[in-house]
């Protein structure tokens, strides 16, 4: 393993703690034939988490999206999954979760297309 990869791998836990999505497909999480993205935003008084797949060529595969957390006496444990088809140059929406505002959540997305895999994680709503 090169020093560059070791340094980049050391940044993954820091990036995850800061709420940055990373993918396992490339050394920096952004390149490679398959990548994932988690996006969180607030809409209509709800926290919305959406999962996306990116590919550099036509890929068919499966995804698993999990969200855990909660706040103000409530807990969330959500699991979604299914098949996807991603095309180059597009962002394929895989699933969307709507949760109460004010909670803290951990979202994780795993993609598999043949031998290719990607995973990303994001912490939403506060420090972990």
Please state the separation of Cα 38 from the chain's center in Å.
Answer: 4
Show the CA angle centred on residue 37, arms to residues 69 and 57, nearest 5°: 150
pTM over 0.85: no
Q: Looking at 63-72, 78-87, 107-116, which range is the least confident one?
A: 63-72
Question: What is the C-alpha to C-alpha distance for residues 90 and 100, in angstroms, rounded to an integer?
Answer: 29
| CATH 2.60.40.2420 at 3-124, yes or no | yes
Of 64, 73, 65, nearest to 97 by C-alpha is: 65
Q: pLDDT value at position 125?
A: 86
Which pLDDT band holds residue 4 (cuts at 50, 70, 90)?
Answer: very low
Cβ–Cβ under 8 Å, residues 69 and 103: yes
- pLDDT value at position 101? 86
How far apart are alpha carbons 96 and 40 in whole angstroms?
A: 10
Domain ranges of the chain: 3-124
């Amino acid at each position: 393993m090169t020093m560059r990869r070791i340094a980049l791998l050391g940044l993954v836990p820091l990036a995850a703690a800061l709420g940055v999505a990373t993918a396992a497909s490339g050394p920096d999480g952004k390149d490679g034939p398959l990548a994932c993205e988690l996006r969180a935003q607030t809409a209509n008084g709800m926290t919305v988490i959406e999962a996306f797949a990116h590919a550099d060529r036509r890929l068919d595969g499966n995804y698993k999206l999990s969200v855990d957390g909660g706040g103000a006496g409530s807990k969330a444990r959500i699991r979604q999954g299914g098949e996807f088809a991603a095309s180059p140059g597009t962002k394929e929406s895989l699933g969307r979760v709507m949760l109460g505002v004010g909670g803290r959540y951990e979202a994780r997305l795993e993609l598999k297309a043949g031998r290719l895999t990607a995973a990303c994680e994001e912490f939403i709503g506060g420090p972990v």
